[in-house]
A and B are shown apart, each in its own frame.
Chain A
């Protein structure tokens, strides 16, 4: 089994990576500015929806329904898609998925593929596998293009290059596109991407996409986007390959009316994103002649098996939780060591990848609950974080000092006499504690001030004690 979430298994731990990134003031400024902007736009367009909470509830219930009967819906989707002329493949893990994609492209003797932003392909490291097979993958989403040309890593689920400002982007484009001149305005940079990619859109015979939603009832697939690169990739090539996680299914076509309202407002603060493409199999005379779907597991059925954290799979990748998170807003996405960053990344990466690889991620949160409040499908992220922390502690993954500390705390708090003695000891012990710190705990936290008087002492000496 090769379950993989990008390169997260090799990534530095969150505290280590975060400490380093916090020194980068330019990055922090870029992240702060971008997340402030999206938050403001989101709040405005969510506030104008009197039925926002009803939409969230419906979305949560639709996702619950889907997961509770996922096997039936997958089979239903497969049948409907095949009847419409699509070919459905199943992939247990990253390697199996990549091999299917490479196989399809090679069977057509093609050496190039145009791609629209797909988190699952970042998960499986598809580009790496394609290049190893001598196939050139071309990212076409503007931010993904910036990342690919700059040999960088995505730092946000919706706006992967949000850590770069426009002068940094201009520099990358001039170098990598071989441009002698390029204006400084965002319009100039977008224009450069248009020219750079147009020839590829018209030339390349294979397209690759993810899916935001797949409808079991009709076998339809839906891609939500803004730039038109998605439409290009799913329309112009002769062969189209679409890969998505098994949890992306929705039962009925009408369910789209819920998600197509929640997603754009949550993700980019738009009432509607410029383009949605919905297609069903193959349509003679319009678009690709051959259509493949890859249904990807890659750890998702493991998440499904844990009832307490199953709703992690409700996620529609809007990234509202990243923008709202006080931790993400300080560190940016790279600290999470995964293509899935922020609060959702902190619960998704460890569950997909295996807890042993990312034991620090569920602690990358103050549990303030801002993520839960903005989540359009009502994933209770704070509760799942606590659930995962418990699993880490139970499996012996927490630091020895923390486990010992908790054991001592349990013993002390169980008896009022012991607690009183302990409080006196703490007052005496503060000085030496300041000097040595608590390994693994005080590295990222200040020790609280110890009051001169315990509550019990105050109680005795005041009116409470008479």
Chain B
């Protein structure tokens, strides 16, 4: 008796006949963006506002002040940070808990998470996380009800192809793309913002120095 693997592969081969030369794929869709730097940033911010995200802009070096401002506005005092989040970016005041090997229930008990990102896409308002040391493991930005993300303008791309290709070797790390807080339209097609993932997402856009 042949194994399921052998049998399925044999069925496929019988179904398609002899191997054909690769079918051509024409990639005539838009790959590279065309917007100016400032227009691209404006588009990104506009898309984020679409999702009710609060957006802050600051210059390089002003991250700590801006992080403090964002957390104060949301009344957050105790925030999780990934193991490699740069200490230089942290303001004094809020209590930052570094995620070493916290239990999921401990994460559930925190007020939110603060992370960096790998890339961002202006057209869709997406943040892309590859869960490096500055972004934290996936649970960190999933279980808490609040996510504050710091993204630099040199990480921002206009189109989806540009954003995904920017991942390079990081593409086989876990990848999460985030476009706004979790949402559902399952009830009468009414968009409800916030179901299981963080219900509030804020973004700090830092002008790369």
**Real binding pair:** yes
Q: Are the C-beta atoms of B174 and A186 separated by less than 8 Å?
A: no
Question: Once bound together, how far apart are the Cα atoms of A34 and B173, in whole Å?
Answer: 38
Once A90-B5, A143-B186, A189-B187 are accepted as A-B contacts, the answer to whether A228 and B142 lie under 8 Å apart by CB is: yes
Which chain A residues lie closer than 8 Å to B198 at the CB level? 228
Which chain B residues lie closer than 8 Å to A272 at the CB level? 121, 124-126, 160, 177, 179
Q: Which residue of B lies closest to A156 (CB)?
A: B186
Q: Tell me the B153-193 residues at the A interface (CB within 8 Å).
A: 160-161, 164-165, 171-190, 192
- One of B24-32, B57-65, B86-94 contacting the partner: B24-32
Question: Once bound together, how far apart are the Cα atoms of A305 and B16, in whole Å?
Answer: 6
Question: Once bound together, how far apart are the Cα atoms of A67 and B22, in whole Å?
Answer: 10
Which chain B residues lie closer than 8 Å to A280 at the CB level? 172-174
Q: Are the C-beta atoms of B195 and A235 separated by less than 8 Å?
A: no
Least CB distance from B120 to A in Å reads: 12
Question: Once bound together, how far apart are the Cα atoms of A295 and B12, in whole Å?
Answer: 13
Q: Are the C-beta atoms of B25 and A231 separated by less than 8 Å?
A: no
- One of B67-75, B110-118, B131-139 contacting the partner: B131-139
B2-32: CB near A (< 8 Å → 1, else 0) gives 0111011101111110011011111111100
A370 interface residue (CB < 8 Å to B)? no
Q: Are the C-beta atoms of A142 and B4 separated by less than 8 Å?
A: no
Question: Once bound together, how far apart are the Cα atoms of A231 and B137, in whole Å?
Answer: 12
Question: Once bound together, how far apart are the Cα atoms of A159 and B186, in whole Å?
Answer: 6
Count B interface residues, CB 8 Å.
Answer: 70
Q: Which residue of A lies closest to B7 (CB)?
A: A92
Question: Once bound together, how far apart are the Cα atoms of A302 and B11, in whole Å?
Answer: 8
Q: Are the C-beta atoms of B197 and A227 separated by less than 8 Å?
A: yes
Q: Are the C-beta atoms of B192 and A187 separated by less than 8 Å?
A: yes
A68-99: CB near B (< 8 Å → 1, else 0) gives 11111011000000001000011110001000
| Residue of A55, A84, A190, A274 touching B187 (CB-CB under 8 A) | A190
A363 interface residue (CB < 8 Å to B)? no
Q: Are the C-beta atoms of A92 and B4 separated by less than 8 Å?
A: yes
| Residue of A62, A90, A146, A257 touching B4 (CB-CB under 8 A) | A90
Which chain A residues lie closer than 8 Å to B11 at the CB level? 297, 301, 304-305
Least CB distance from B47 to A in Å reads: 7
Count A interface residues, CB 8 Å.
Answer: 90
Q: Which residue of A lies closest to B12 (CB)?
A: A71
A149 interface residue (CB < 8 Å to B)? no
Which chain A residues lie closer than 8 Å to B22 at the CB level? 65, 68-69
Q: Are the C-beta atoms of B196 and A257 separated by less than 8 Å?
A: no
B84 interface residue (CB < 8 Å to A)? no
Least CB distance from B176 to A in Å reads: 6
Question: Once bound together, how far apart are the Cα atoms of A340 and B6, in whole Å?
Answer: 28
Which chain B residues lie closer than 8 Å to A194 at the CB level? 194-196
Give 6 nearest A-B pairs by CB, closest first: A228-B197, A228-B196, A272-B124, A228-B182, A301-B11, A305-B15
20 further contact pairs, Cβ within 8 A, besides A197-B196, A304-B16: A90-B3, A142-B186, A169-B187, A186-B190, A228-B197, A246-B12, A260-B160, A260-B177, A261-B160, A271-B125, A271-B179, A272-B126, A272-B160, A274-B178, A277-B175, A277-B176, A278-B174, A278-B177, A280-B174, A283-B131
Interface set of A (CB-CB < 8 Å, partner B): 30, 33-34, 37-38, 50-51, 54-55, 57-58, 61-62, 64-65, 67-72, 74-75, 84, 89-92, 96, 140-143, 146, 159, 161-162, 165-166, 169, 186-187, 189-190, 193-194, 197-198, 201-202, 218, 220, 226-229, 231-232, 235-236, 246, 253-254, 256-258, 260-261, 268, 270-280, 283, 285-287, 295, 297, 301-302, 304-305
